[in-house]
Amino acid sequence: MTPHARGILLLVLVTALWGSTFAVVKELGELLPPSVLIAWRFTLATVALLPVLALMPRRAAPRAARAGPSAWKESLTRDGLILGAWLIAGYGTQTIALQTTSANRAAFFTALSVVLVPVWLTFAQRRRMPLALWVALPLAVLGLGLLSWEGGALVAGDAWALACAVTYAGFIVALEGTATRHQPLAFTFAQVLSVTVMAWIWAALSAPAQLWPPEAAWGPLLYLGVLATAVTTLLQTIGQRTVSAAEASLIYALEPVTASFFSFLLIQERVGLRGAVGGFLVVVATVLSQRTQPEPQPELPVPHGLSAEPPSEATPTAADQRSRA
């Protein structure tokens, strides 16, 4: 199996795990405030990654490390904080959204991030908006409108879900630019630790009297923290080393489909005809939007899997030559 194919499979697994979290977070939101939920979720993820980090064999240092230990640590800290800020914005807005909107609607609203990634890249690269994007954007809006129509009037959670889509699009683009600059596990830990610190500050300020979870919350928190956060963040970081942002966002289009399945399985949420049509339009829009990126752009890292021989971590690649936002 080529590194590129392995990266795609890892991101498909990540997407399935993400889909399961909408129902879990919605139910857990009845027991914990959003800030406390995220703080404990990422604390558990941090603890889960510690023994793995300690036992992981040392590999060839990335280019930033070869520039000097202090420069590498500074780069890792900086990139971890940047990615952590994107992550807590995405997780925070999504958790708040699920307090007032259904898991199905939140999933399809969040899927708009897949359409926003090529839009983001188009503006960043100062190119003309491709025709496919002009078609994809109204399709996505129409789909979201049908989803909202089925569930009644727009609620505050829908606006938060849209905010989640914007922030997660930023995270996808940002991750592509820095994933190859650091060892995957160390970089994953830096991101998760950054979110943990930010989340506890948020929790201490917003819910100081509700910091300890009730007994019923620990099972879902362990699932979210270990499997759906630590494992998925690590797999996503590894996967996007050989998969471009445009390809990754296409895979992430599967998330609302898996979310609908798990929402029905876990909390018996159903999607009606209008919602199904709206969800289908959103998925079509996400797939169509990817036709705007037929090949890697000069500003983007070239996926390693496209090479005849995959580069080793010790060899600088085209992806190592650019800095990431």
Minimum mean pLDDT range among 47-56, 183-192, 193-202, 299-308: 299-308
pLDDT at site 62: 55
Indicate if the pLDDT at residue 323 is higher than 70.
Answer: no
Specify if 307 maps to a domain.
Answer: no
Token pair for 88: 């807590």
Residue 322 has φ and ψ, to the nearest 5°, of -120, 150
Q: Does any domain span residue 310?
A: no
In a domain, 200, yes or no: yes
Encoding tokens for residue 48? 């889960």
pLDDT at 4 over 70: yes
The letter for the amino acid at 16 is A
Where does the pLDDT of residue 227 fall: very low under 50, low under 70, confident under 90, or very high at 90 and above? very high
Which of the two residues, 287 and 37, has the higher pLDDT score? 37
Indicate the pTM of the whole model: 0.76
Give the end-to-end CA distance of the chain in Å, rounded to a whole number: 31
pLDDT at 129: 73
The 10s digit of each residue's pLDDT in 228-286 is 988 887 788 788 888 887 777 678 777 888 888 888 888 888 777 777 888 788 878 87
User: Is residue 67 domain-resident?
Assistant: no
Residue 139 has pLDDT above 50, yes or no: yes
Q: Looking at residue 115, what is its pLDDT?
A: 79
Please determine, for residue 127, whether its predicted confidence score (pLDDT) is greater than 60.
yes
Question: For residue 42, what pLDDT band results from cuts at 50, 70 and 90?
Answer: very high
Question: Percentage of residues in the chain with pLDDT exceeding 90?
Answer: 32
pLDDT (average), residues 25-42? 96
* Angle ∠(80,86,87) on CA atoms, nearest 5: 80
Place of tokens 């139910």: 27
- The answer to whether 133 and 292 have CB atoms below 8 angstroms apart is yes
Residue 312 lies in a domain: no
> Within a domain: residue 318?
no
Residue 294's pLDDT band, with cuts at 50, 70 and 90, is: very low
Residue 69 belongs to a domain? no
Most confident of 113-117, 125-129, 259-263: 259-263
- Total domains in the chain come to 1
Q: Across residues 155-171, what is the average pLDDT?
A: 90
DSSP 134-163: HHHHHHHHHHHHHHHHHT-S--HHHHHHHH
Identify whether 313 is part of a domain: no
φ, ψ of residue 31 in degrees (nearest 5): -105, -25
The average pLDDT across 213-217 equals 96
What domain range is 132 assigned to? 3-54+79-297
Pick the closest to residue 312 from 168, 183, 164, 199 (CA basis). 183
In single-letter form, the type of residue at position 120 comes to W
Arithmetic mean of pLDDT over the chain? 79
* Both structure tokens of 65: 């490390």
**40, pLDDT greater than 50:** yes
pLDDT tens for 49-77 read 898 888 766 655 555 555 555 665 668 89
Instruction: Check residue 151 and give its pLDDT.
Output: 58
